[in-house]
Structure 1
């Protein structure tokens, strides 16, 4: 991962600040630490937390309640992360998006918020759970192809051959939930009639999936069919 500093951005991107940095509520709690690092080092002109209530929210709320019992009840992921950011670091963001329920309207609502605020937006730093980072990138690329997407997944984790985490960031999902998130992404990322790419639902820009990733997915799902996470109609919208 590139360091979240203006000098590192200048070296890798050719400019020291992005226009907008967005943390998405689908992330684990450790995403707040990454956002705080970005704010502290002033790598963006504006900072937003995006997220209403979606398929990971219930587990996220339970994690925060256990680790930060002083956080007051809220109805959206972005409000929850905002409280943790203030509690841990005394920091705030410029805006919260509280209504989105999936990757599609995470992006469409973010773009609407940016437009409503009148912020210039030629580049966006996306901070999402590592399992969903690629789909978030492809969703923004489809919705606004002229915006440069700068990816910064909120964590990296390694899993041993016997399916154990070698190290876990704060608030890390259970291994089974992590695997359901990973395996659920591949059918969505496919650019075929059933996928979310241009040849399917048209939600995403085209994504190339390496053959070894397809093979790994086939092996995991063959062992446990529950890993192939199906879309929850409760969180469906015009874009998903």
Structure 2
């Protein structure tokens, strides 16, 4: 049955509600990042950043096939380092070899600039791809030691880049990142900004909350940095272009983006699938990842508006969710 213009509008509206929720954008600009990283916890508020070991601030960049996220994070972190006179910034490049790794390699091969390192990183974990991008295109160097130095991260070092290349999902992103940070003596970071694919940024932050829950009052301040929120809109289709494929009736409509940048996003079918799959994962029930389910994330309150949008999108796509 052909998709009506009303169906396409309903689908776009529902997808955008879900997209905004799962992205959970708390950091958008350099100013936001600076505030999120250097806002001291209550227990450290009366101590200077220079003298407080807990002032170590962490950005975790989780690998994604949408390379725009990595580009944004690396460029803004580089600018932050140049304009920050105090505190220690740690950038963790995060990602092993998982079910989406080939998609990242494919995106790299198709990128107008990064394609030239495609053969160099062939078969490598996602974090190692990020490492090469950071070095060759942003002139940022990762820590080369196979073992952490006994003194840990030097307080005088404005930026330290660490690589976590074994995690294969959001839960392990958090678990293994903490292990890497602990190894380097960063056992109580003051803040952690999580940069992740916008379709799963909220869930990844909830995974970090779960991993650091034992710190209680000394837990790091966490913030979500999806780098953008994917927005879609109905296509203007002529009557002769009628189709029963809903995804083909939608287009990306991210503010300020052009066609070439849109080419670096997911196929519309995959984006719809990611949105449909994300809400069940975040539910706190026996099938979800919350405390009542797998227990890999903290409780996430899903607004009724989002649940209704999810049901609408499932119905329009003819799916029950996964």
- Is 1:180 the counterpart of 2:267? The answer is no
The aligned counterpart of 2:18 is none
**Residue of structure 1 in register with 2:78 after alignment:** 39
Residue in structure 1 matching 2:35, options 9, 13, 32: 9
Instruction: State the Cα distance separating 1:28 from its structure 2 match.
Output: 1.5
Unaligned runs of 5+ in 2: 1-26, 42-48, 50-54, 143-160, 214-218, 236-249
Q: TM-score, normalised by structure 1?
A: 0.85
Kindly indicate whether the alpha-carbon contact (under 8 Å) linking 2:58 and 2:189 is maintained by their aligned counterparts in 1.
yes
Q: In 2, are the aligned partners of 1:27 and 1:154 still within 8 Å (CA)?
A: no
Match of 1:58 in 2: 102
Q: CA RMSD in A?
A: 2.6
Structure 2 match to 1:121: 189
199, 202, 208: which one aligns with 2:301: 208
| Structure 2 CA distance for aligned equivalents of residues 104 and 174 of structure 1 | 25
Stretches of 4+ moved more than 3 A in 1?
Answer: 5-8, 10-18, 167-170, 225-229
Distance in 2, Cα, partners of 1:9 & 1:2: 11
Question: Which structure 1 residue ranges, 5 or more long, are not aligned?
Answer: 230-240
Per the TM alignment, residue 125 of structure 1 is displaced from its structure 2 partner at its CA by: 1.0
CA contact (8 A) 2:34 2:80 kept: no
> C-alpha separation between the residues in 1 aligned to 2:181 and 2:38?
25
1:81 corresponds in structure 2 to 130
Shift of the 226–89 alpha-carbon distance from structure 1 to 2, 3 Å rule, reads farther
CA 1:52/1:225 → structure 2, altered by over 3 Å: closer, same or farther? farther
Distance 1:133 1:92 in 2: 25
Task: Give CA-to-partner distance per residue, 1:56-109, whole Å, 9 cap, x none.
Answer: 222111010111221111421111122222232222342111111111111100
TM-score, normalization by structure 2: 0.65
Residues in 1 aligned to 2:32 and 2:266: alpha-carbon distance in whole angstroms: 31
**Structure 1 residues 224 and 136: CA distance shift in structure 2, 3 A:** same
- Answering whether residue 202 of structure 2 is matched by residue 164 of structure 1, we say no
Moved more, 71-80 or 37-46: 37-46
* 1:104 aligned onto 2:171: yes
Pair 1:140-2:208 in alignment: yes
Corresponding residue number in structure 2 for 1:149 = 222
User: C-alpha displacement at 1:135, in angstroms?
Assistant: 0.4
CA deviation after TM superposition for structure 1 residue 201, in Å: 1.6
Contact 1:193 1:200 in 2 (8 A): yes
CA shift, 1:33, in A, is 1.8
Residues 193, 227 of structure 1: alpha-carbon distance in 2 compared, 3 angstrom cutoff = closer
